[in-house]
Amino acid sequence: MEQTGFSAMERELAELIVKTLKLTIDPASIDPQAPLFGEGLGLDSIDALELSLAISQRYGYQVKSSDPDIKAIFSSLRALAHAVETYRTK
């Protein structure tokens, strides 16, 4: 069953997050606008590194910690999907 409100990229990234970080949640249960860190999904800096590596390998987009927009990029699933769609190379 397809969840409404999810773009194809948001769905892909939700699945990538759950698989990469070995979370025990349904990817469809991730609110695309909820924070990924802190409250929300509760990810931490180690999770960000693992996720950055997985995104780089899959999409060719290197999310760098030195990027001035890093907090905005990782602010939500929707923001991350937008950045990946914008900057992906594969």
- Looking at the DSSP assignment, which residues form a beta bridge with residue 35? 76
pLDDT in tens, 11-37: 999 999 999 999 999 999 999 999 999
What are the structural domains, with CATH classification, of the chain?
8-87 (1.10.1200.10)
Q: How far apart are CA 81 and CA 34, in angstroms?
A: 13
Reported pTM? 0.89
Q: How far apart are CA 46 and CA 34, in angstroms?
A: 19
Going by C-alpha positions, the residue among 47, 48, 49 that lies closest to residue 22 is: 47
Question: Residue 29 burial (CB < 10 Å; 0-12/13-18/19+)?
Answer: exposed
83, 10, 34, 3 alpha-carbon torsion, rounded to 10°: 160
pLDDT in tens, 33-72: 999 998 889 999 899 999 999 999 999 999 888 889 999 9
